[in-house]
């Protein structure tokens, strides 16, 4: 009886063979063009290839207070509406 696991194992075996074949092809291409070998530990970009992080904008203390007050007001409105709905039903 063929199970889903059997299908998955077969698919995995096929994919591993394809990966090995692609690795061989990449090695031969790199040797022709003289590209450095990718290490198994870090085939992705090196840290120097990553874009620099944007600096965060700073909020003034006054702006943070206004934001906090507005959020407290929204929560108060939400809670009062929740209480009103609960007392009706």
Residue 12: inside a domain, yes or no?
Answer: yes
**36 Cβ contact list (under 8 Å, min separation 6):** 30
Contacts for 59 with CB less than 8 Å, ≥ 6 apart: 67
pLDDT in tens, 2-33: 788 899 999 999 999 999 999 999 999 988 88
Domains identified in the chain, total number: 2
Q: How far apart are CA 25 and CA 28, in angstroms?
A: 5
Is residue 21 one of the residues assigned to a domain? yes
Alpha carbons 24 and 31: distance in angstroms, whole number? 11
Q: Residue 84: which domain range?
A: 60-89
| Percentage with pLDDT > 70 across the chain | 80
Whether 49 maps to a domain, the answer reads no
Q: Given a cut of 90, is residue 40 above it in pLDDT?
A: no
On whether residue 70 sits in a domain, the answer given is yes
**Is residue 40 in a domain?**
no
For the entire predicted model, the pTM comes to 0.36
Structure confidence by residue, pLDDT tens digits, 48-88: 667 788 888 899 999 999 999 999 999 999 999 998 887 76
How far apart, in whole angstroms, are the C-alpha atoms of residue 80 and residue 89? Answer: 15
- 47 band by pLDDT with thresholds 50, 70 and 90: low
Cα–Cα distance, 63 to 71 (Å, whole number): 12
* 45 within some domain: no
| pLDDT at position 43 over 60 | no
The answer to whether 9 and 2 are in contact (CB under 8 A) is: no
How confident is residue 44, by pLDDT bands cut at 50, 70 and 90? low
């Amino acid at each position: 009886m063929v199970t889903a696991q059997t299908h998955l194992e077969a698919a995995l075996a096929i994919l591993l063979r394809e990966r090995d074949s692609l690795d061989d092809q990449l090695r031969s291409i790199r040797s022709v063009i003289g590209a450095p070998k990718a290490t198994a530990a870090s085939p992705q970009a090196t840290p120097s290839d990553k874009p620099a992080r944007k600096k965060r904008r700073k909020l003034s203390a006054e702006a943070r207070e206004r934001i906090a007050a507005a959020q407290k007001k929204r929560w108060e409105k939400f809670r009062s509406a929740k209480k009103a709905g609960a007392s009706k039903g």
